[in-house]
Amino acid sequence: MDYHKFIGQVQHRAELGTFEEAVRATRATLETLGERLYGGEASNLAAQLPEELGHYLERTKGSEAFDLKEFLNRVQIREGVDLPEAVFHARVVLQVLREAVSPTLMKKVLDQLPPEFDNFILSSQNVGEPPGPSIREGSGPGEPRS
């Protein structure tokens, strides 16, 4: 998926008025995700994305352990919107990200995140799409990781 298509999908699904708003939501979410990932996973993810998106993941130091609530608070601060908007935008960005990269890589990314991220990404709340299959092969949301 190229840069303009990725941002266009975010803009359309999040019903944002401008391309720039979609860029801001995407940047806030990906930079925060980059802070959370460790062991080179942000670079692996960046390698499957257009350069313009990949550098958001690599812009921050990774390896910080924080939960979904903290993730969303950081997205909110970066994006400069209220929390409900940030939650909605982050969900959309992560769903588009899931579609843009290989399932194997997305599973590796999610294996580094608390299980609450599974339900967050798969939730169709405010996105208008039914949730897809489990992201983690052999481990549905809420099930222990192997």
Give me the CATH number covering residue 10.
1.10.490.110
Asked if residue 138 belongs to a domain, the reply is no
Name the E strands within 1-146: none
Structure tokens at 27: 């940047």
Q: What residue numbers bound the domain in which 43 lies?
A: 3-122
Asked if residue 145 belongs to a domain, the reply is no
Asked if residue 134 belongs to a domain, the reply is no
Asked if residue 146 belongs to a domain, the reply is no
| Total of domains in the chain | 1
Burial 75-94 (b: 16+ CB within 10 A, else e): bbebbebeeebbbbbbbbbb
Q: To which residue do tokens 């359309």 refer? A: 12
d(CA 4, CA 83): 26
pLDDT, position 63: 83
- Blockwise average pLDDT, block size 10, the chain, 146 residues: 97 97 98 94 95 93 89 97 96 96 94 91 54 39 37
Asked if residue 143 belongs to a domain, the reply is no
d(CA 63, CA 78): 19
Asked if residue 56 belongs to a domain, the reply is yes
Asked if residue 141 belongs to a domain, the reply is no
